[in-house]
C-alpha cells in the first residue's frame, strides 16, 4: 500500500515539474544594459532571465537561451537596475517641502 502511494506521488511530481519549471512563470528582459550595484559599471547587451520571482540567468543576449513559452520583454538598449528606496527619511508632517514632495512624486 505504501509503495503504491509513493509511486503515485512520484508520477504526479514528474508530470507537474515541467509545468512548474517551464510554465508561464518565465520572463526574459532581452537586449538590456544592466546596471550593477557591485561596481560602477554597466554591462551592455544582456538578457536577464527570471523564473518565478528569482533571477535565474544573466548573460550576453547571444548566449542566453530563452524558452519559447517565456514572456519576452524587449529592452531595446534600455537600462535595467535594482529598485531603489529611500527608507531612513524623517520629515515633519507640517513641513511644506514634504507636502510638496508627496503631491508631486510617486512614492513606492
pLDDT digits (tens, 9 = 90+) for 14-54: 555 554 455 578 999 999 999 988 888 899 999 999 998 88
Q: Is residue 65 part of a domain?
A: yes
Q: What pLDDT, on a 0 to 100 scale, did the predictor assign at position 46?
A: 94
pLDDT digits (tens, 9 = 90+) for 58-101: 999 899 988 888 999 999 989 998 877 766 666 566 666 666 66
First to last CA, the chain: 54
Please, is 32 exposed, middle or buried when counting C-beta atoms within 10 Å of its C-beta (0-12, 13-18, 19+)? buried
Which domain range does residue 59 map to?
24-83
Q: What pLDDT, on a 0 to 100 scale, did the predictor assign at position 19?
A: 47
* Count of domains for the chain: 1
Which residues fall within 8 angstroms of residue 67, CB to CB, at 6 or more apart?
A: 22, 26
The H-or-E segment that residue 41 falls in is none
Q: What pLDDT, on a 0 to 100 scale, did the predictor assign at position 82?
A: 81
Contact 72, 26 (CB under 8 A): no
| Distance separating alpha carbons of residues 34 and 59, to the nearest angstrom | 10
Q: What pLDDT, on a 0 to 100 scale, did the predictor assign at position 108?
A: 46
CATH classification at residue 56: 2.30.40.10
The sign of the dihedral angle between the CA atoms of 74, 84, 26, 42 is: positive
Amino acid at each position: 500500500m505504501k509503495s503504491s502511494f509513493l509511486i503515485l506521488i512520484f508520477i504526479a511530481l514528474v508530470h507537474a515539474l515541467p509545468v512548474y519549471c517551464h510554465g508561464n512563470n518565465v520572463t526574459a528582459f532581452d537586449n538590456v544594459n544592466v546596471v550593477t550595484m557591485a561596481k560602477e559599471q554597466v554591462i551592455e547587451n544582456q538578457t536577464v532571465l527570471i523564473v518565478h520571482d528569482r533571477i535565474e540567468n544573466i548573460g550576453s543576449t547571444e548566449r542566453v537561451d530563452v524558452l519559447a513559452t517565456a514572456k519576452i520583454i524587449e529592452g531595446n538598449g534600455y537600462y535595467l537596475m535594482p529598485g531603489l528606496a529611500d527608507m531612513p527619511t524623517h520629515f515633519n508632517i507640517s513641513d511644506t517641502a514634504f507636502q510638496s514632495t508627496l503631491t508631486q512624486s510617486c512614492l513606492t
